[in-house]
Amino acid sequence: MMKAVTFQDIGSVAVLETPEPTLELPSDVIVRVTRCAICGSDLHLYHGEIPMMPGDTCGHEFTGIIEDTGSSVGKFKRGDRVVGTFHTACGSCNACQRGEYHLCASAAVYGFGPIYGALNGSQAEYARVPFADINLRHIPDKLEDEAALFAGDILTTAYGAARNANISAGSSVAIIGCGPVGIMAIQSALALGATRVIAIDLLEERLQLASSLGAEIINASNSDPVGRIMALSDGEGVDAVIEAVGGSRTILLAFEMVRPGGHISAVGITATQTFDYPLMQSTTKDITFRVGLANIHRDIDKTLALIANGKIDPTVVISHRLALEEAAEGYHLFDTRVASKVILIP
């Protein structure tokens, strides 16, 4: 048996003894989890927006050490330090063959309930990784597990959003929202060569972190962010806007801030099904609007290298490090926004 964070009811998780995972297919590995994290998207199931069965294991961000390998696993052996992508891909379906791993026909998200593949979560002492050769990466020697963990989800999600925003050397970029993904979008934009990154949020504490990373900052609680962006950009707007809040209001704000011919990339998780697309504005300003899941498998080697080379330090967003047994407290702290990012240590 092992300890695992399990969904109990809406607003309730508990660390319970659950069966240890075992190899089920030759392409599986079993990982002894060294670090796992609570993600913003875990709150969707915590809030009951994504159906989970009581007792299902939670969590999809993790690093670990290979404990056991199936007979067809070629890239990993017992003792290797690894980081997992937050969802699995099969590596052989049409989408995977095209390199579109995020669109894999049999993708499963760890710890996300039956409609996302019914795969056990990784907030646990051990996790089973299907198609391990596709869904794990070695952690470079000099890199701490805690830093590498972010490449498996939110850093690479933010990096993908920055790529979708067409950011290149010399770009000017506005980032709406300085939560963990917004902070990593700032880091990614700078890593991709943006010379000007303007961060927008309502909370001074988040903005100070953005500022320490090299962003100019706008506190939208006491100033008009569109007016400020225009004043900072000769009245034209910025080349790219990354929306990292979620919801139609901030997406529409992005259309106001972007320059004619610019790009908007929405990465904020939103439960909104639709919004009124500003078709005329988008047409006359010739705006490219991108929204979509990040292709973690495509970009994870780049983001791991950026962390290993010291270009990006994703650990700046960590506010709490708790023992796995304290997961219920961690979820509560994260849900009430006392915590910005919680790392759980099995």
Applying CB under 5 A, which residues contact Zn ion?
39, 41, 61, 89-90, 93, 96, 104, 153
What element of type H or E holds 252?
A: helix 248-257
Find the residue with minimal CB distance to Zn ion.
39
Distance of CA 22 to the CA centre of its chain: 27
What element of type H or E holds 244?
A: none
Burial of 175 (0-12, 13-18, 19+ CB in 10 A): buried
Instruction: Give one word for 276, left, alpha or beta, with left for phi > 0 and alpha for psi -120 to 50.
Output: beta
| Rounded least distance, CB 36 to Zn ion, Å | 10
Which is nearer to Zn ion, 96 or 287 (by Cβ)? 96
At position 50, the amino acid (one-letter code) is I
Which is nearer to Zn ion, 131 or 289 (by Cβ)? 131
| Rounded least distance, CB 267 to Zn ion, Å | 12
- Between the alpha carbon of residue 227 and those of residues 112, 215, 241, the distances in Å are 41, 18, 15
| Rounded least distance, CB 261 to Zn ion, Å | 33
Tokens representing 333 are 């702290």
Best CA proximity match to 131, nearest among 184, 84, 196: 84
Which is nearer to Zn ion, 154 or 217 (by Cβ)? 154
Which residues neighbour 172 within 8 Å (Cβ) at sequence distance 6 or greater? 194, 195, 196, 197, 198, 233, 238, 239, 240
Which is nearer to Zn ion, 104 or 264 (by Cβ)? 104
Which is nearer to Zn ion, 145 or 239 (by Cβ)? 145
| Rounded least distance, CB 273 to Zn ion, Å | 21
State whether residue 20 is helix, strand or coil: coil
| Rounded least distance, CB 294 to Zn ion, Å | 11
- Between the alpha carbon of residue 47 and those of residues 42, 181, 228, 310, 332, the distances in Å are 9, 20, 36, 36, 11
| Rounded least distance, CB 233 to Zn ion, Å | 33
| Rounded least distance, CB 300 to Zn ion, Å | 13
Which is nearer to Zn ion, 262 or 330 (by Cβ)? 330
| Rounded least distance, CB 96 to Zn ion, Å | 3
Q: Phi and psi (nearest 5°) for 284? A: -70, -30
Which is nearer to Zn ion, 70 or 84 (by Cβ)? 84
Q: What is the DSSP letter of 234?
A: T
At position 207, the amino acid (one-letter code) is L
Which is nearer to Zn ion, 90 or 238 (by Cβ)? 90
In terms of DSSP bridges, do strands 238-243 and 172-176 run parallel, antiparallel, or are they unpaired?
parallel
| Rounded least distance, CB 29 to Zn ion, Å | 18
Which is nearer to Zn ion, 120 or 172 (by Cβ)? 120
